[in-house]
Amino acid sequence: MEQVMEKATFGAGCFWGVEAAFRRIPGVIDTAVGYAGGTLDNPTYRDVCSGTTGHAEVVEVTYDPEQVSYEQLLNVFWDNHNPTTRNRQGPDVGSQYRSAIFFHTPDQQTIAQASKERLDQNGRFRRPIVTEITRASTFYRAEEYHQRYLEKRGLAHCHI
């Protein structure tokens, strides 16, 4: 019987470094960078960067749940950005850089909410977590030059 792959979608600032972090995880079968959560059909990078479409830069992760759990993917998500800054990651400012979890199933929603609550309560972050947790909407794949951007430039092993 063939194993069914699952998808997870995360917004954690500029998608280049986030994608590289997920690609290093055993059990992650594939990644794609793109846009989700907005109102414009088939947005371009320029559209999203305008800040007017409502999209977030996201990474869509295809994974084998027998090799890596959704909880483990969430840990990578939390470890690779600051979930306490609204619409900002480092020098990148705008709603397209917001911290967001786009869940694909009710189980993912439950696990994501519990994970966020645990982190908010355990004091790991000094400020409240502002990460939005919303149902996955249409994923629009970004232009090809954005896919595996850091890998193509020999920077995929840098911690961004």
Active-site residue set: 14
Cα–Cα distance, 40 to 42 (Å, whole number): 6
Closest to 38 measured CA to CA, from 125, 112, 142: 142
Q: Are strands 6-12 and 99-103 parallel, antiparallel or unpaired?
A: antiparallel
Other CB atoms within a 10 A radius of the CB of residue 39 amount to 10
Task: Report CA torsion sign: 46, 52, 53, 57.
Answer: positive
Q: Is 69 left (phi over 0), alpha (psi -120 to 50) or beta?
A: beta
Q: Are strands 140-141 and 28-36 parallel, antiparallel or unpaired?
A: antiparallel
Any alpha helices (H) in the chain, and if so which ranges?
Answer: 15-23, 45-49, 70-79, 106-122, 149-152
